[in-house]
């Protein structure tokens, strides 16, 4: 079947995530995985029908008809709009009091349904916190390419004025301070003298000075366009290393893709860029984790205590192991449903009070014997 109505898919960012965290439940979170036609996985229609049926049953089990009636109506109206057998990136559907939204979530690996006092934000934090806008620069002697990555999508852009499309054009456009071109005097039949070239283009391309100058021209031409945005590099390792030396003023990601940029398809560049955005986020998380020993006396790793502190606005930084879950029980006084994920509740309260969350890969925080840790403001 095809989509029966249209729900505009939003892009999740940190500002939008903070808005999601401020919604009070009951809240329905439905996550649909990435679907690739022919990959052998279930269809989006099958996933959505299954999760919708489960959600309807769980809403009935809550025995709160005054609070869940509107959610059930929204679910029945919105879910069919996402039932499609076409492939595409993952989607997260959020339905709560005074909120209905669907977000494109590339990289979602499995279907998931949560009905709780808060939206299930933990699976959303990393993507919302990853770099949202940067440039992708493909460098080779024969061809320079430029893409703009924005909110999960890549679009190839024309090279700005002043950026040579290849090394040969760079040699015609400008010359390095030290002219490596060999010249020799030759006699003329008219009795005059002229200078003739005897260096070859292959020799010029092999010259390290010409190559460095080529990269300097690229960096200078890109600077006013890229401005302060990061740059992700594609190309041969040795040439990318030289470009980094030439482009000292650019903010360049640590990650690189070592391949021939001339042969890259749009889909390949987009997939690599998405992976790089997440890689950059995880590197930032790792650096933050490495700083924890310096503030060990301010770190606490007990979920219930952290929840209380987060509710009071005392959590400055929260660290959560991405694969961990701690089901809550006997915590109705704190507004949690029985079985609701306690770690997610802590994350939501941290966002509500403008704290920062770092999602670490794995089920435990590296170097800490816990799945959650917090640095307090006071």
Tell me the chain's radius of gyration from C-alpha atoms: 27
Q: Could you tell me the residue range of the domain that residue 143 belongs to?
A: 133-280
Q: Are residues 308 and 275 in the same domain?
A: no
Q: Are residues 98 and 149 in the same domain?
A: no
Please report the pLDDT score of residue 90 as a whole number. 87
Each residue's pLDDT tens digit, 44-73: 788 888 898 999 888 888 876 667 888 988
Confidence of residue 174 (pLDDT cuts 50, 70, 90): low
Tell me the mean pLDDT in the region 254-279.
95
Confidence of residue 150 (pLDDT cuts 50, 70, 90): very high
63 against 176, higher pLDDT: 63
Q: Are residues 12 and 111 in the same domain?
A: yes
Confidence of residue 378 (pLDDT cuts 50, 70, 90): confident
Tell me the pairing of strands 145-150 and 99-104.
unpaired
Domain count, the chain: 3
Which token pair is 9?
């898919």
Within-domain flag for 99? yes
Cis amide bond preceding 221, omega within 30: no
Please report the pLDDT score of residue 60 as a whole number. 85
Q: Are residues 176 and 39 in the same domain?
A: no
Q: Are residues 141 and 271 in the same domain?
A: yes
Asked which of 229, 248, 280 is the last residue of a domain, the reply is 280
Asked which of 280, 300, 325 is the last residue of a domain, the reply is 280
Residue percentage of the chain with pLDDT more than 70: 84
Q: Are residues 155 and 275 in the same domain?
A: yes
* Average pLDDT score, the chain: 84
Q: What's the whole-model pTM score?
A: 0.82
Please report the pLDDT score of residue 18 as a whole number. 94
Within-domain flag for 199? yes
Confidence of residue 256 (pLDDT cuts 50, 70, 90): very high
Q: Are residues 76 and 152 in the same domain?
A: no
Within-domain flag for 247? yes
Query: Could you give the maximum distance between any two Cα atoms of the chain, in Å?
Result: 107
Within-domain flag for 298? yes
Within-domain flag for 127? no
Q: Choose among 129, 107, 156, 109: nearest CA to 269.
A: 156
Q: Are residues 276 and 299 in the same domain?
A: no
Within-domain flag for 286? no
Q: Are residues 161 and 267 in the same domain?
A: yes
d(CA 320, CA 347): 8
Asked which of 67, 99, 120 is the last residue of a domain, the reply is 120
The CATH number assigned to the domain holding 48 equals: 3.30.960.10
Each residue's pLDDT tens digit, 96-146: 988 999 998 888 888 899 999 999 999 999 999 999 999 999 999 999 999
The CATH number assigned to the domain holding 336 equals: 3.30.1330.30
Within-domain flag for 285? no
Please report the pLDDT score of residue 204 as a whole number. 45
Secondary structure (DSSP) of 270-339? HHHHHHHHHHHHHHHHHHHHHTGGGGGGGEE--HHHHHHHHHTT-EEEEEEETT---B--S-GGGTPPTT
Tell me the mean pLDDT in the region 90-96.
92
The CATH number assigned to the domain holding 254 equals: 3.30.420
Within-domain flag for 137? yes
Q: Which residues contact 34 (CB under 8 A, 6 or more apart)?
A: 88, 89, 90, 106, 107, 108, 109
Q: Are residues 226 and 305 in the same domain?
A: no
Tell me the mean pLDDT in the region 349-374.
91
Q: Are residues 183 and 216 in the same domain?
A: yes
Q: Are residues 213 and 97 in the same domain?
A: no
Which token pair is 313?
């606005």
Please report the pLDDT score of residue 191 as a whole number. 47
């Amino acid at each position: 079947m095809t989509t029966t109505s249209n729900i505009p898919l939003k892009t999740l960012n940190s500002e939008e995530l903070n808005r999601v965290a401020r919604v009070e439940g009951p809240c329905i979170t439905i996550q649909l995985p990435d679907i690739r036609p022919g990959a052998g996985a279930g269809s989006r229609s099958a996933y959505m029908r299954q999760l919708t049926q489960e959600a309807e049953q769980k809403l009935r089990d809550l025995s709160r008809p005054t609070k869940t009636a509107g959610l059930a109506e929204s679910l029945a109206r919105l879910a069919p709009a996402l039932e499609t057998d076409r492939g595409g990136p993952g989607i997260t559907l959020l339905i709560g009091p005074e909120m209905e939204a669907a977000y494109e979530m590339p990289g979602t690996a499995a279907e998931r349904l949560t009905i709780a006092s808060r939206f299930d934000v933990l699976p959303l934090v990393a993507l919302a916190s990853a770099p949202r806008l940067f440039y992708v620069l493909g460098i080779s002697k024969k061809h320079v390419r430029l893409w703009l990555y924005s909110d999960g999508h890549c679009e190839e852009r024309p090279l700005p004025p002043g950026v040579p499309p290849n090394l040969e054009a760079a040699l015609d456009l400008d010359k390095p301070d030290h002219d490596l071109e060999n010249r020799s005097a030759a006699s003329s039949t008219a009795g005059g003298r002229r200078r003739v070239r005897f260096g070859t283009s292959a020799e010029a391309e092999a010259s390290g000075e010409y190559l460095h100058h080529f990269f300097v021209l690229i960096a200078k031409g890109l600077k006013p366009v890229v401005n302060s945005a990061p740059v992700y590099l594609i190309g041969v390792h040795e040439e990318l290393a030289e470009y980094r030396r030439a482009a000292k003023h650019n903010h360049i990601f640590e990650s690189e893709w070592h391949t021939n940029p001339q042969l890259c398809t749009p889909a390949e560049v987009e997939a690599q860029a998405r992976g790089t955005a997440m890689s950059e986020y995880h590197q930032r998380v790792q650096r933050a984790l490495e700083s924890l020993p310096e503030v060990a006396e301010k770190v606490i790793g007990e979920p219930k205590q952290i929840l209380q502190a987060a509710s009071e606005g005392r959590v400055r930084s929260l660290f959560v192991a991405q694969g961990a879950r701690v089901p809550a029980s006997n915590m109705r006084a704190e507004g949690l449903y029985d079985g609701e994920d306690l770690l997610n509740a802590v994350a939501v309260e941290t966002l509500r009070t403008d704290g920062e969350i770092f999602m670490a890969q794995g089920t435990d925080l590296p170097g800490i014997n816990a799945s959650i840790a917090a640095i307090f403001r006071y």
